[in-house]
Amino acid sequence: MKTVKSIMSWVLPIVVGLLVAMVIRHYIFTMVRVDGPSMEPNLDNNERVAVVKTAKIRHLSVIVFNAYHVDPDARSKSVKYVKRVVGMPGDTVKSQNGKLYVNGKLVPQQFISQYERTQGTTNWTLNTLSTRYSWRLKTTKVPKNTYFVLGDHRSVSNDSRYWGFVPASKVLGVVKVPFWDSSSTKRHNVNSISY
């Protein structure tokens, strides 16, 4: 009996700890690795960031979503993309001369340079993009329960301009740069910006 009590005294805390960790990871937050340069200069290739599953998505939030059946080129069920939410349900979105407009209002983009906003991009609206890239859904507004997302480095980002909208059901959570990251600018540009 003493042996069982002795074993349980250290096994039980380990089991409880593992269960708590699993619940936190499944329902509250997890860590992901950024893959590629599309979110530079704010997130770097191979950078690890937290994904808060309970955080509210706002304009300019950076999110992680499962890209399978969103981007036709995402062939694996485990492919995840990190992008910035530009359009919320019901919004109109357009780009003109490197400036971004949502519902006719200029979106401040101090979090990226003029180069990152304009290189390799053109003037567009949701309607012209949906026609040019043959989206399944042709529309002038972001549909209900979806988001329009862009990478911060527009010239290298594979994002909503090419394949359309991200269903809310595919979103895993909102990205937060951990407090131990050395760059307060990056923390601000990812964690705090909205309009």
Residue positions annotated with a catalytic role: 38, 83
**3 state SS of 8:** helix
Tokens 């600018």 sit on residue: 185
Contacts for 16 with CB less than 8 Å, ≥ 6 apart? none
Helix (H) or strand (E) holding 119: none
d(CA 20, CA 43): 29
d(CA 93, CA 86): 8
112: number of Cβ within 10 Å: 20
